[in-house]
Amino acid sequence: MTAPSQRRAFLIVMDSVGIGGAPDANQFFNDTLPDTGANTLAHIAQARPLHMPHLDALGLGAAIGLASGDDAPGLGAEPRGLWGGATEASRGKDTPSGHWEIAGVAVPWEWHYFPDTHPSFPAELSQRIAEAAGTAGILGDEHASGTEIIARLGEDHLKTGWPICYTSADSVLQIAAHEESFGLERLYGLCRDVAKMVHPMRVGRVIARPFVGEPGSFARTPNRRDYAIAPPGRTILDAAQEEGRVTHAIGKIGDIFSHRGITHLHKGKSDADLAEHLLRLADEAEPGSLTFANFVEFDSLYGHRRDIGGYADALEWFDEVAGKMIGRLGNGDLAIFTADHGNDPSWPGTDHTRERVPVLGWGLGARAVGQVGFVDIAASVAAHLGLPAVGPGRSFL
């Protein structure tokens, strides 16, 4: 048997891949419609049966049934892995809340959300952002889709040099600027300054949204950067690093955790790039290490844009990645696949949806863990690695 100090763990977040059934979904909304009944995976499968043999073999279809009782055509295998559903305690359906709680820290506060008005930001904050940018004002100042507002205000941005500032139903302030005319490093510096302004307000993230091109053909670049509030407690990443373990962060994990507890950062321009990192680390990650990955395009490209077909294609592509990754693991390895919230592409609106999430594990044989909490995932990873307990969770291993 492999000693805990030599075991490896891979914690993989499929961003927004919810499975419905959240008991408090009626308290969360898209516009004025409560999230009651939202179910990202089931509704995609009902629109087009899904072929995901690798994750379904672990128990994906069974997890959907456990969480919500909904049918998911194409997903009905007898589970051969660890499987269950997880319920979030934090009062949010956003990226930081979900990831922090998966890592062992439930969010102890209510996030601040900017109102869906025009202007959306307090006048004093807008003035401070303009001063930090060295401009006479800002553009936008509203709830908006990132691609839409860049198409609409990009030309004005090029003429005035003013940053495009916008928000959404999330606790977030996003700043878009042209990489060449405004400057990428200047945008990053501005976002760092604005983060210091809004984090005390409990705004979760400031996001740099660089773009390129000319009027009529603007396009966002892969150089997004998130400036998130630091987690309010000790996470599984902190615990691993405190014990001298190597930690690998794939995708936006570094940004979400303010780069705390991370040894190596692995970024990419797409989920396909991130998949290459995951497969490589399945071969190369050190004994005793923790690899924590986020695959964001389910959410950013398909969930918010309510693209059911695109989401389905992405899920089936990722299942192939998961199969390849599992095939490279060995004795003493544990892989857990989960999600941070839902984003049902069949749902009205454009916001995340409050849902339970799957918990699927490879490395421990067939094991039904039932309904667990997000924090129990961190406790279980800590137990597998032989780390001190993290947060209030209880291991389901």
State the DSSP string of 59-94: THHHHHHHHH----TT--PPP-SEEEEEE--SS--S
Strands (E), the chain: 8-14, 29-30, 33-34, 82-87, 139-143, 164-167, 172-178, 205-212, 219-220, 225-228, 247-250, 264-266, 290-295, 333-338, 357-362, 367-373
Please tell me the distance from the alpha carbon of residue 207 to that of residue 176, in angstroms, as a whole number: 8
Position 117, amino acid: T
Please tell me the distance from the alpha carbon of residue 368 to that of residue 350, in angstroms, as a whole number: 33
Per the annotation, does 51 bind a ligand? no
Is residue 164 exposed (0-12), middle (13-18) or buried (19+ Cβ within 10 Å)? buried
Q: CB atoms < 10 A from the CB of 386, how many?
A: 14
Per the annotation, does 352 bind a ligand? yes
Per the annotation, does 259 bind a ligand? no
Position 222, amino acid: P
Per the annotation, does 156 bind a ligand? no
- Counted residue by residue, the chain has a size of 397
Helices 184-198 + 123-133 axis angle, to 10:
150
Cα 396 → chain centroid: 23
First to last CA, the chain: 16
Please tell me the distance from the alpha carbon of residue 311 to that of residue 279, in angstroms, as a whole number: 22
Q: Are 337 and 321 in contact (CB under 8 A)?
A: no
Per the annotation, does 299 bind a ligand? yes
Task: State the DSSP code for 286.
Answer: P
Is residue 130 exposed (0-12), middle (13-18) or buried (19+ Cβ within 10 Å)? middle
Per the annotation, does 384 bind a ligand? no
Please tell me the distance from the alpha carbon of residue 165 to that of residue 173, in angstroms, as a whole number: 7
Task: Name the binding residues for Mn(2+).
Answer: 15, 299, 304, 340-341, 352
Task: Name the binding residues.
Answer: 15, 299, 304, 340-341, 352
